[in-house]
Structure 1
Amino acid sequence: MRTIVTTAGRPDELSLSLANKACEQLGLSFEPRKKRSVAKISEQLNANVIVAGKNRYEYYPKGASGPFFFHPNSAAFRLKRVAKGEKDPFLEACQLQKGDAILDCTLGIGSEAMLAAFIVGDSGKVVGLEADPNVAFIVQNGMKTYDTSELPLTNCMRQIHVVHREAVEFLRTQSDNAFDVVYLDPMFEEVIEESNNFEALRDAGRHVKLTNEWVREALRVAKRRVVLKAHFKSLAFEEFGFVRDVRLTAKFHYGVIDKATLQV
């Protein structure tokens, strides 16, 4: 399905400029708002809609219950906890060090990538892959322009390199041991109802399923470990050989394949 770009209901020069930027970067056509609702435009043109507002982009996949837009989400308070020395299950699973390189194969809103950026620091590297071009555009622009005075959140957002690419396709192009850690976070098989931001991403993003090739390529590209995040009911941990960290009160778990243990 095609995607078109429009402006906010009452566009100003900034909104028009942002709309033009989206059209140029994504190769999309512009549709004047003409006082129509986004739902009406989507219905009339049978298209997904990107809205260039006065301070952010919003993405409305056709039929979605709400827009997808960039927001640091849980990363803000998780970073504050980590900065105070508290543990985070994602970081515990990844075992990142300063200067490491991590590949996030399913960037989404980028919460975990921001945590990774905090740990690896300026000398490290964080690459985030997003298969959907519209989501990649929204997140990439959001990370560059989101207005916050919170540190280290701003630095972490700016450090992430967003790449519009399908994960397995990208992994095939990488050399052995190219990243210290490869992180996999496919769309959950089960809905976590209270996660509203995730629901917007579920409508907007690509639905992917873990495969043998994906895990095999991730293991080849990872120097130290591959980390999987999935719903606690998921069978993927056992199916693909991940050692699961069972957290009794959590609705999702992390699993790890440590390459050092494979070589023993």
Structure 2
Amino acid sequence: MIVTTAGRPDEESMALAKAACIKLSLPFKDRKKRSVSAMIQEYGAEILVAGKNRYAFYTSTESEPFFFHPNSAAFRLKRMMKGEVDPFVETAGIDKGDTILDCTLGMGSDCIIASFAAGAQGKVRGCEVHPVIAFIVQEGLRLYKDGSQELLEAMRRIEVIPRDSLEYLKEQPDKTVDIVYLDPMFEEVIEESDNFQSLRAAGFHTQLSEEWVNEAKRVARKRIILKAHFRSDLFEQFGFERKVRLASKFHYGTMTI
């Protein structure tokens, strides 16, 4: 993997490229007006591009890059501010001041909603095992500037853990997190955006296991939440109470501790 800049680099993109090289211990290659696809072929490597206020991750298998964007979190938060109930927040039973551990951070949309619901006194952490995806989301949560003040504040409060979530759970003391959230991305595609497809291609996907659920039970104080495709049998397999959502491609499952 290598780091480069946008086609016409400025001081900001050069600074972002340098920061990525240092943080991820990756080499830098000057763009020299080359296309990303040409650089992928020339170096035989995946490429992290530092642009204006954001990073984009290109692989050889996907035509679209992965980059951070709050996606559905932006309009979900707007609805919440108007008094509407978010299904995830309702199912998880998130209260002000709660601590939430998202074991499958992905693009961070649910973490943003959890952060808003838990408020300034809450604490939201998200695990992402792919170091580059974790870096892009972490920096995106920090650098993103569009959106309401409430959205940006919720984003800034999230802590990204660049770790395998099972290994991270094993290190946590008993009953130290109010809610543990599991959203494994290995069965069927739920989201349909190009950005989500690139995330699936780039990320590591670990199947839900009894060990993973048992560690979540040990660490959680209130409940564990599972998100999976509506055709999934994970809810029944691991003892979650399925919350059917007739108009949605995915269901939530709850396990009260």
* Aligned-partner residue type, residue 23 of structure 2: Q
Given residue 24 of structure 1, which amino acid in structure 2 is its aligned partner? I
Partner of 1:133: 131
Q: Does 1:169 align with 2:164?
A: no
Match of residue 201 from structure 1 = 199
Which of 95, 98, 112 is the matching residue for 2:96? Answer: 98
Which residue number in structure 2 is paired with residue 258 of structure 1?
256
User: Is it true that 1:121 corresponds to 2:119 in the alignment?
Assistant: yes
- 1:194 CA displacement: 3.2
Q: 1:111 aligns with which of 109, 112, 119?
A: 109
Q: How does 1:1-264 map onto structure 2 within 5 Å?
A: 3-192=1-190, 194-259=192-257
TM-score, scaled to structure 2: 0.97
Is contact 1:8–1:33 with CA below 8 Å preserved after alignment? Answer: yes
Q: Quick check: 2:53–2:143 contact (8 Å CA) kept in 1?
A: no
8 Å CA contact retained: 2:105, 2:128? yes
Tell me if structure 2 keeps the 8 A contact 1:117–1:126.
Answer: yes
1:262 corresponds to: none
Letter paired with 2:187? E
CA contact (8 A) 2:24 2:131 kept: yes
Greater Cα offset, 79-88 or 19-28: 79-88
Structure 2 Cα separation of the partners of residues 193 and 68 of structure 1: 14
1:181-239 per-position Cα deviation (integer Å, ceiling 9, x unaligned)? 00001104112463333212112222221011100000100001000001111111111
Structure 1 unpaired stretches of 5+: 260-264
- Unmatched tracts of structure 2, length 5 or more: none
Moved more, 87-96 or 190-199: 190-199
CA contact under 8 A between 1:180 and 1:224: conserved in structure 2? yes
Q: Which amino acid aligns with 1:32?
A: D
Deviation larger for 124-133 or 8-17: 8-17
**Structure 1 residue 149: deviation in Å?**
4.5
Helix, strand or coil at the partner of 1:29: coil
Equivalent AA in structure 1 for residue 127 of structure 2:
L
Aligned length in residues: 257
Normalising by structure 1, what TM-score? 0.94
Report if the CA contact (8 A) 2:66-2:196 is conserved.
Answer: no
What secondary structure is seen at the aligned counterpart in 1 of 2:121? coil
Deviates more, 1:119-128 or 1:40-49: 40-49
Say which SS state the counterpart of residue 20 (structure 1) adopts: helix
**Is the partner of 2:67 in helix, strand or coil?**
coil
